Each structure stands twice: as C-alpha cells, then as structure tokens.
Amino acid sequence: MTVAVDTRLSFDDVSMTFPDGTEALRHVSFGVGRGEFVTVVGPSGCGKSTLLRIASGLEQQTDGAVDVDRGDLGYVFQDATLLQWRTVEGNVALLAELDGMSRGERARRVAENVSLVGLDGFADKYPRQLSGGMRMRASLARSLVMDPAIFLFDEPFGALDEITRERLNDELLSLFQRNGFGALFITHSISEAVFLSTHVLVMSARPGRIVGTHDIPFSYPRPPELRFDAAFAELCGEVSTSLRSAHQ
C-alpha cells in the first residue's frame, strides 16, 4: 500500500501477545492517511479489534511502533455504548463535555451533528426508546462532535439488519467526504469493506497478520447502485479469495 502524504495513523511492525500467552497480532504494518478509508476484514477472533484497541491506546502493543495523535481520534464501538440515563442529546454531548468544551460551542455542535446523523426530533429520547440503527447513529454523532482527524470503527453495523446497514454505509461515506477524516474500519462483511474503502486489508486467523491488500479504485461519492456493479462483484471476489486462502 502506498504511504499517504498526510499520514494520520501508522502501524510499524506491531506485534501483540497477551499476558496469558495468546498471540493476537504478528508483524502488522500499514498506514491510514487523510482521505483514506482503510478496512480490515478477517475471520472472527483474528485480532481485528485488538488492532483498534492498540491504535487508541486502550491496549499496549508488545512490539513495534504505533504513530497516531490520540487526542484527535474518534472510536466507534461495536455496541453503541450510550449512557442509558442520558437522552440522545446528552449522549452526543458526552465526549465534548468530558473534554471541557465550552457550553455554547458544545450546544451548537451537538445540534449540528444530531441533525447530521438524521436524529432530528429524537434529541430528547432515551436510548431504550431507539432502534439499534438509531443508537448507532447517536454513537456516531457523539464522536463526530469532536471532529477527529482519524476514526476507528469496530464493526459498528455488525448487529444491524442488511437494509439499515447499507443505509448507514451510504451515510457514513457522505460524512467521510464531508469531514475528510481518515478511517480504520473493522468488519467481517466483504461487500461492506469494498463499498466503503479506499483500501481493504485482509487479516489471517490468529495470530493476525496482513496477508493481502486490495486497492478499491471507485471514486467518491459512491452511489448505492455500485453494489450491483460487475467490477464491484469482481473486487468482492478477489477479497473473498484472499480471505479464504488466509484461512488455510
């Protein structure tokens, strides 16, 4: 993969062995630059999530170097991780509040991003009153408020139905274009990976290694119909083949 000019996150020969001896990652190197959307696909339990936990500093790698500005990083978890006692508005404001953003600025950004993720009219609803997709939108808005330079996504749409997932993919791409963040996205859906990304990395089963890199040439904005394009199907096939060979 080509090294981008404005690199926002780089992994240089990173390995990770947990204290119990489980080897999660072995010699992983890649970079995510401004305007790049990098997706990692791999079998369950291959250490994909560990990649993000190391990138964010939640875990410390045992070997190698990670370069990223952790103060300018958004992390969208597998679960929406909303606080049940806060409304959508309160949840979206949380990170800004913890960062000590001024009240006026916070209110402005919260309103803007609640609307941006399509939650107008739900600002005063509690998480239990929302659908899974809406919770994920709120979770996304919570990170968007901080306008991070790099976004980490840990299978954020894995638990959603196909239709909701595709709609959120479309919307995520328009946010990606609008805000110009770099993205590191984890999924086990090949079509989701190809649809979203500039680059797809294929990871082997544990210990996780990058065993294939696929550049996705489609330009943005990507219309939903791209999913039915022959070139799209071909790329999915290539990624799938490389994923299958990694399994053996």
Q: How far is the CB of 114 from other proteins (least distance, A)?
A: 18
Largest CA distance in the chain: 55
Is 83 near other proteins (CB under 8 A)?
Answer: yes
Q: List strand residue ranges (DSSP E) for the chain, in order.
A: 7-17, 23-33, 37-41, 63-68, 73-76, 150-154, 182-187, 199-203, 210-215
Q: Which is nearer to other proteins, 114 or 130 (CB)?
A: 130
Selected from 1, 34, 62, 77, the binder of other proteins by CB under 8 A is 77
Within 13 A of 195's CA, how many CA atoms are on the CB side?
A: 23
User: Residue 89: enclosing H or E segment and its boundaries?
Assistant: helix 88-98
Cis amide linkage into residue 221, ω under 30° from 0: yes
Q: How many angstroms separate the CA atoms of 77 and 156, rounded? A: 6
Q: How far is the CB of 59 from other proteins (least distance, A)?
A: 10
* Of the candidates 180, 158, 156, the residue with the CA atom closest to the CA atom of residue 82: 156
**Site map 93..132 versus other proteins, x via CB under 8 A:** -xx-xxx--------------------------xxx----
Tell me the three state secondary structure of residue 37.
strand
Q: How far is the CB of 88 from other proteins (least distance, A)?
A: 11
Q: Which is nearer to other proteins, 42 or 127 (CB)?
A: 127
Is 159 near other proteins (CB under 8 A)?
Answer: no
Q: Which stretch binds other proteins (CB under 8 A): 18-26, 91-99, 156-164, 236-244?
A: 91-99
Is 78 near other proteins (CB under 8 A)?
Answer: yes
* 166 Cβ contact list (under 8 Å, min separation 6): 224, 227
Interface size with other proteins, residues (CB under 8 A): 22
Q: Work out the angle at residue 212's Cα, subtended by the Cα atoms of residues 206 and 217, and round it to the nearest 5 degrees.
A: 140
Q: How far is the CB of 121 from other proteins (least distance, A)?
A: 18
54-73 positions binding other proteins, by CB under 8 A: 56-58, 70, 73
- Contact residues for other proteins, defined by CB under 8 A: 56-58, 70, 73, 75, 77-79, 81, 83-86, 94-95, 97-99, 126-128
